[in-house]
Amino acid sequence: MSDRYQGFTQTPIGKLLVKNLSLPAPMKLERYVDGAPLVDGTVLVGGRGRLAESLPGLLDTLGIASAEAAGDGERFKGLVFDATGITTSADLVALRDFFTPVMRSLESCPRVVVLGTPPELLEGPERVAQRALEGFTRSLGKEIGRGGTVQLVYVAEGAEGAATSTLGFLLSPKSAYVSGQVVRIGAHGTTDAPEVTDWTRPLTGKVALVTGASRGIGEQIARVLHRDGATVVGVDVPQAASELQSLMKELDGDWLTLDITGKDAPQRIAHHLKEKHGGVDVVVHNAGITRDKKLANMDEPRWESVIAVNLTAPELITRELIDQGVVNKGGSIVGVASIAGIAGNVGQTNYAASKAGVIGFVDSLADELTDGITINAVAPGFIITQMTAAVPFATREVGQRLNAMSQGGLPVDVAETIAWYANPASTAVNGNVVRVCGQMMLGA
């Protein structure tokens, strides 16, 4: 499913119209290809904070080349600025001093990461200054252009060594459609991370459960987790059994067909994982449905079915897996929320309630889980799938253009974000909700 408008803007007449009418000009985004280097170029690092000295070493671990000064005519694929040393509002000028001289030295599809300290862990002027970083990064994300992304990563004191997996994700094409986001590392207790021997296959030996795995976003989640070394157990409804089995056979995985809203579904899933795999390391609650109607016309079945599939089932399944000890130590639980759960959407009061509930689900469990188990969520924006292909043309076009990248995302963009959460080295990344939306211009 190609973006016809994006293709049109690359034609001679399209380029002319874009220039003269100031139309959106979506750039083809770079996405990760298995076997390619994480970053094809050099990352410039700067700042004077807690992470400044260790940044080159962290990047070197990932095979990312870095520089600490900009030479004449040198170009960069990424910028990382340690702002943890900014303690007053007057210190914020350091952002301008670092970024302004090098913004025109960036390659296409550049990645920018600002590192700070979680404001909630600070007081007084330092808390004020660190909170200001959010406005800076979100604004820069909307003006960087050329397929670039900008993120803010708050690193709690003591969690400096746990930032490697997050830097690898945010500086690479794996985060192509993630921008303007705030990530917290070590804000919910855990501040360390285990060593990863193979960063190209960090999930080797791990078992990953993916619901709604037969097609669309779920299929891509299964493929990316398999690429990273996991044994995937796909779950879907009996009606999708043929597609599910075909995919799992291709990925050398396992499958289970059932309705996740069934009374015995949590017990059946727990039993299957325990008996056949000895437990599970990654749980991805991807299955979801829509039953859209304005609230004035919303009947009870539409409301109840959406809440049951999108929210109640993930809650019950997670509780059963935790209570039975099926989730292994250091495991990762990921919920798939939606931008609708953050900004709302006409005709989707049921869907938006369920997806906001997924965010609440993450909030409620982030401090409750033990044994290094984490819980996070992704909130996709306009992702191009068979479902969105059925949306009326005008609505679809508007939905794709109202973000900083002027285009829709792909299912793999959601999958890559989930794979970052699932990486064992992301154990200090807990309680986060990251939007995969190209940085929506309005409402979020």
Structure tokens at 159: 């969690």
Answer yes or no: are the C-beta atoms of 416 and 223 closer than 8 Å: no
State the Cα–Cα distance between residues 238 and 95, nearest whole angstrom: 54
Q: What is the DSSP letter of 179?
A: -
Cα–Cα distance between 29 and 373 in angstroms, integer?
A: 33
Which of 271, 262, 61 is CA-nearest to residue 167?
61
The set of residues, in sequence order, having a beta carbon less than 8 Å from that of 206 and lying 6+ positions away, is 229, 230, 231, 281, 282, 422, 424
Rounded Cα gap, residues 314 and 312, in angstroms: 6
CB-based contacts of 296, cutoff 8 Å, min separation 6: none
Active-site residue (options: 32, 154, 351, 421): 351
Q: How many CA atoms lie within 13 A of 136 on its CB side?
A: 23
Nearest to 189 by CA among 68, 16, 369, 43: 369
Q: Does 421 participate in catalysis according to the annotation?
A: no
Which contacts (CB < 8 Å, 24+ apart) does range 308-313 have? 308/261, 309/260, 309/261, 309/354, 310/351, 310/354, 310/355, 310/357, 310/358, 311/353, 311/354, 311/355, 311/357, 311/358, 311/361, 312/261, 313/211, 313/260, 313/261, 313/265, 313/285, 313/287
CA-wise closest residue to 167 among 67, 39, 46: 39
Task: Give catalytic residue positions.
Answer: 351
